[in-house]
Amino acid sequence: MDVFGLDIGGSGIKGAPVNAESGELLGERIRVPTPEAATPDEVVAAAIEVVSRSGWDGPVCCGFPGVVKEGVIHTAANVADEFIGFDLQTRLQKELGTPVRIVNDADAAGLAEMRWGAGRGVEGTVLMLTIGTGIGTALFIEGKLIPNTELGHIEIHGREAELWAADRIRKVEDLSWKKWARRVEEYLQKMEALLWPDLIIVGGGVSKKSEKFLPRIETRTRIVPAEMLNEAGIAGAALAYVPETPVSPKPPASTLTQEA
């Protein structure tokens, strides 16, 4: 089945048609900058632009940087606070006129890596990180996703972890790869102490430069770069789409009585 995968990030909104069986992108990846204010109206408009430019007319799945419950956004770390309580799924369905599903963006990337990438076939506990504007996390136990973990917000040195070790902070504070790697290492060691994972996958935009920092990091857990790189969020979002199935009618009351 083909689905349009959208990935809403702190710096860019990206999308492309995806084959949900293979994870293959079926067309050009389209990207527009995330609006500076990142309010719901502006983000929705940008998302619609990405879908429209592709000429797509079909199901859409969207990864969003926050806790998502039944299409409603409950946290907004790197976008406007107006997103809290916003029903993004209903709004996009109304605007696009097509079925839409919303999922946490790191969960989407993790689903892709577990299906087609570095986590393929790995048993036990797997932690996927998306390091970019912030730090997203996706946690899998025996292949099953524990949604909306948001472990990038634990505290390190009195700051949220993503305000200490995200790639954006490396750039803003002009940290060397060596100094930044120490911060990431400290964060990962806290994750090890909390979760005792069997594998840590590092994704996000910085995963393209993994050779600059991963060799500097010492962890008890095996740690590997993501294989799908920036395509993980788009491809993984497609896995969140499950077509609606008709509800079976209830059996007659007499049948229920007889079975009871």
85 and 180 both lie in a single domain? no
pLDDT given for residue 250 in this prediction: 38
The total number of residues written for the chain in this structure: 260
Tokens of 170: 């490396």
pTM: 0.89
Domain assignment of residue 241, yes or no: no
Rounded Cα distance between 3 and 25, Å, is 10
Of 78, 103, 128, the residue that ends a domain is 103
149 and 66 both lie in a single domain? no
Domain assignment of residue 235, yes or no: no
Of 103, 131, 166, the residue that ends a domain is 103
Domain assignment of residue 60, yes or no: yes
Average pLDDT over residues 134-158: 95
pLDDT given for residue 79 in this prediction: 85
Read off the pLDDT band of 251 (50, 70, 90).
very low
69 and 133 both lie in a single domain? no
To which residue do tokens 């964060």 refer? 187
Rounded Cα distance between 107 and 86, Å, is 19
70 and 128 both lie in a single domain? no
69 and 6 both lie in a single domain? yes
Q: At residue 254, does pLDDT exceed 70?
A: no
Rounded Cα distance between 200 and 58, Å, is 34
Domain assignment of residue 242, yes or no: no
Q: pLDDT tens for residues 101-134? A: 999 999 999 999 999 999 999 999 999 999 998 9
Q: At residue 26, does pLDDT exceed 80?
A: yes
Rounded Cα distance between 39 and 16, Å, is 23
Q: At residue 72, does pLDDT exceed 70?
A: yes
Domain assignment of residue 184, yes or no: yes
State the total domains in the chain.
2
**Other Cβ atoms closer than 10 A to 210:** 17
Q: At residue 257, does pLDDT exceed 70?
A: no
Containing structural domain, residue 27: 2-103
Q: pLDDT tens for residues 194-250? A: 999 999 999 988 999 999 999 999 999 999 999 998 789 999 999 887 654 333 333
Task: Give burial (CB, 10 Å; 0-12/13-18/19+) of 192.
Answer: middle
Mean pLDDT of the chain: 90
Give Cα 119 distance to the centre of its chain: 15
| Amino acid at the residue 222 | R
Q: pLDDT tens for residues 29-56? A: 999 999 888 899 999 999 999 999 999 9
Side-chain half-sphere CA neighbours of 228 within 13 A: 27
pLDDT given for residue 242 in this prediction: 60
148 and 172 both lie in a single domain? yes
Residues 6+ away with beta carbon under 8 Å from 244 = 99
64 and 9 both lie in a single domain? yes
16 and 48 both lie in a single domain? yes
Tokens of 192: 């090890």
pLDDT given for residue 151 in this prediction: 96
∠ CA 232-237-238, nearest 5°, is: 105
Domain assignment of residue 32, yes or no: yes
CATH code for the domain of 203: 3.30.420.40
92 and 139 both lie in a single domain? no
Q: At residue 256, does pLDDT exceed 70?
A: no
Residues 6+ away with beta carbon under 8 Å from 92 = 44, 47, 48, 60, 62, 100, 102
134 and 216 both lie in a single domain? yes
167 and 74 both lie in a single domain? no
Q: pLDDT tens for residues 179-190? A: 999 999 999 999
123 and 56 both lie in a single domain? no
Domain assignment of residue 50, yes or no: yes
To which residue do tokens 């969003």 refer? 64
Rounded Cα distance between 85 and 95, Å, is 18
Which residues are paired to 127 by β-bridges? 139, 200
Domain assignment of residue 93, yes or no: yes
